[in-house]
Amino acid sequence: MKMSGGVEWALHCCVVLSRAGAPVPAAKLAELHDVSQSYLAKQLQLLSRAGLVRSTLGQSGGYVLTRATSEITVLDVVEAIDGAQPAFRCTEVRQRGPLAVPAERCDTPCPIARVMDSADRAWRESLRAITVADLVADVGRTTPAETLEAARQWLRA
Amino acid sequence: MKMSGGVEWALHCCVVLSRAGAPVPAAKLAELHDVSQSYLAKQLQLLSRAGLVRSTLGQSGGYVLTRATSEITVLDVVEAIDGAQPAFRCTEVRQRGPLAVPAERCDTPCPIARVMDSADRAWRESLRAITVADLVADVGRTTPAETLEAARQWLRA
DNA sequence: GTCGGTCTACTCGGATATCAGTTGTCCGAGTAGCAGTGG
DNA sequence: CCACTGCTACTCGGACAACTGATATCCGAGTAGACCGAC
C-alpha cells in the first residue's frame, strides 16, 4: 500500500501558497521544491478540480488558494490527489465459490469489510482534524523568520 | 492508494483455518473462495514467513494457524501481506531546491510527515484492536449454524 | 501378524511472465498585460 | 495626454509514453502416508 507521492508535494504547495499572497505559477512551485514541473502541474490540476485552488491564466498568473487555510483540511488535499476511495475494497468473497452465500442473505456487510472500514474512518478522521493552517503554524514555529522572509522574496523574484 | 487484494483473501483464510481444526491445503482454500490458486499460494507463503501459519508437507498436509485466533490481530495479517511500511513516506522536500533547509537544521520531522504518521498510527491501532477471534465470532453470529457445518464437511471432503 | 523398505501422490516454495496504475512528459488552447498608434 | 487595438509572452489544461510494483502462473524440491513383501 503506497500513497501517491504527489500528496506530499501538494501539501507543501498549499503551505507555500498560503504564505505567498499572490498567484504562484506551477513552474515556480516545481523549482522551489525541485520536482518535475510537468508532473507537479498534474497534481495542481487535481487540486483545481477539487476546488481547493483557483488558477489564473496569462502573465503574472498562477495558483491561489480558494479558501482560508483553516478551512482546508489535510484530508481534503489527500482525497483531491489520491482519490476518496477507501484502500480496502470488499469483493464479497463470501458470495463466491461452492459455499457461496446468496446475496439476499448478505444484508449486513462482511465483518472484514467492517473492520477495514472502521480503520479507514479513523485514518480519515485523523487527517480531517488537521488543517493547512495548523501546518503553516507548525512551519512558522520551527523555521527562523529570516528563512520565511527569504522564501517570500524568492517567490516574488 | 490501494491495499493489496490478497489481504482480504488472507483474512478469510485465517477465519476458515480457525474453524477447520486440521491442515487445509492451499488448493482447497482457493477453490472455496474461487480465487487463483497460484496467487493465493503466494499470500499463504507470506503468512508463513510472518509466522502466522505453519505449513505441513506431504499428503493430508496444508496450512494451520500457529496461535490462538485471539492472539492474531487483523493488523498482523495486513502487515504480513501488504508490508509494514507506512503508506506515506516523507522525501524531505524541505531539504531540496534553492531554499533547501540544511539537514542539520531538520532535527524535528516535517510537520506533514508528523500528521501522516499520526494518521497511520490511528489506522494501525484500529486494526490492532480487532483479532481474528472477533471476526470468527462475528461470522458465527451472522451465519446459520447449518451453513457453518456444511463448510466443515466440505473442507474434510 | 508385524516390521521394514519402497513407492507414489500430494504438499509447499521460489523463480518466472503479464498487466495495471503511478510517474513523468509533451504540446495546444486561452488570456492578461504591454507596446504601439491614432485621436 | 488618453483610449484603442494588436501583439507577445506567459499561463494552464488535457492527451500521450515509460516504468515500477502488483497480479497471476508455472515447475521443481521435499515429505507423509500407503502399499507391498519378507520375516
Count of domains in chain A? Answer: 1
In a domain, A78, yes or no: yes
Banded pLDDT at A123 (limits 50, 70, 90): very high
Instruction: Give domain status of residue A111, yes or no.
Output: no
CA angle B142, B146, B148 (to 5 degrees): 65
Q: Using a CB-CB distance cutoff of 8 angstroms, which residues of chain A are in contact with residue B99? A: 32, 147, 150-151, 154
Question: In whole angstroms, what is the distance from residue A129 CA to residue B13 CA?
Answer: 36
Q: Tell me what pLDDT residue B89 has.
A: 94
DSSP type of residue A50 = T
Whose cell is 500528521? That residue is: B115
Q: What are phi and psi of A53, to 5 degrees?
A: -130, 160
pLDDT score at B115: 97
Our CA-based measurement puts residue A58 at a distance from the nearest CA of chain B, in whole angstroms, of 25
Tally of CB atoms within 10 A around A56: 14
| Nearest Cα residue in chain A from B77 | A112
Taking CA atoms, B8 is separated from B5, B29, B52, in Å, by 6, 13, 15
Q: Report the CATH number at residue A32.
A: 1.10.10.10
Query: Chain A contacts of B90, Cβ < 8 Å?
Result: 8
Residue B40 neighbours by CB under 8 Å, 6+ apart: B6, B9, B13, B26, B29, B30, B33
Mean pLDDT, chain A, integer: 94
Residue A101 has a pLDDT of: 87
Residue reference for cell 496467487? B39
Nearest nt to the A61 alpha carbon by C1' = D11
| Residue B144 pLDDT | 87
Strand C: residues with CB below 7 A: A 2, 4-6, 36-39, 41-42, 56-61, 83; B 1-2, 25-28, 38, 41-42, 44-45, 48-49, 55-59, 61-63
CB distance from A154 to chain B under 8 Å?
yes
Is B115 within 8 Å of A127 when comparing Cβ atoms?
yes
Q: Nearest CB to A1: which of B4, B74, B118?
A: B4
* Interchain CB contact of A95 with B (< 8 Å): no
Residue A11 lies in a domain: yes
Question: Could you give the angle at which helices B37-49 and B26-33 cross, rounded to 10 degrees?
Answer: 120
Residues of B in contact with A98 (CB under 8 A): 31-32, 34, 154
pLDDT of residue B102: 87
B100 lies in some domain: no
The maximal CA–CA distance of chain A, rounded, in angstroms, is 69
In sequence order, which residues have a C-beta less than 8 Å from that of residue A50 and are 6 or more positions away?
A76, A79, A80
Residue A96 lies in a domain: no
Find residues 33-72 of chain A whose CB sits inside 8 Å of chain B: 33-35
d(CA A138, CA A136): 5
Nucleotides in chain C near protein beta carbons (<7 Å): 9-15, 21-27, 29-34
For residue A156, say whether its CB is under 7 Å from any atom of strand D. Answer: no
> Quick check: is A152 in a domain?
yes
> Based on the number of CB atoms within 10 Å of its own CB, is B94 exposed (0-12), middle (13-18) or buried (19 or more)?
buried
Residue B45 domain boundaries: 5-83+131-156
Residue A97 falls inside a structural domain: no
Q: Chain A residue closest to B29 (CA)?
A: A97
Percent of chain B's residues with pLDDT above 70: 100
Residue A54: predicted pLDDT: 96
Residue B91 has pLDDT above 90, yes or no: yes
Distance CA B42, CA B48 (A): 10
Proportion of chain A above pLDDT 90, given as a percent: 81
pLDDT value for A143: 87
B12: confidence class by pLDDT, cuts 50, 70, 90: very high
Size of interface A-B (CB pairs under 8 A): 147
Predicted confidence at residue A21, as pLDDT, reads: 86
pLDDT digits (tens, 9 = 90+) for B105-129: 788 899 999 999 999 999 999 999 9
Reported as a single tens digit per residue, the pLDDT across A66-92 is: 999 999 999 999 999 999 999 999 999
Nearest 10 degrees: CA dihedral of B142, B148, B154, B157?
160
pLDDT > 80? residue B157:
no
Backbone angles phi, psi at B65, to 5 degrees: -70, 145
Asked if residue A76 lies in contact with residue A7, where contact means CB atoms within 8 angstroms, the answer is: no
Closest CA to B100 of A5, A17, A31: A31
pTM beyond 0.85: the answer is yes
Q: What is the pLDDT of residue B104?
A: 83
> pLDDT value at position A80?
97
Do residues A42 and A91 touch, judged by C-beta distance below 8 A? no
Nearest-Cα residue of chain A relative to residue B4: A1
Residue entry with cell 507470506 = B46
β-strands A53-56, B53-56: how paired?
Answer: unpaired
Q: At what angle do helices A111-128 and B111-128 cross, to 10 degrees?
A: 150
pLDDT digits (tens, 9 = 90+) for B13-70: 999 999 998 999 999 999 999 999 999 999 999 999 999 999 999 999 999 999 999 9
Specify if A145 maps to a domain.
Answer: yes
Half-sphere exposure of A92 (CA within 13 A, CB side): 12
- How sure is the predictor about A103, in pLDDT bands with cuts at 50, 70 and 90? confident
Between CA A45 and CA A10 the distance in angstroms is 10
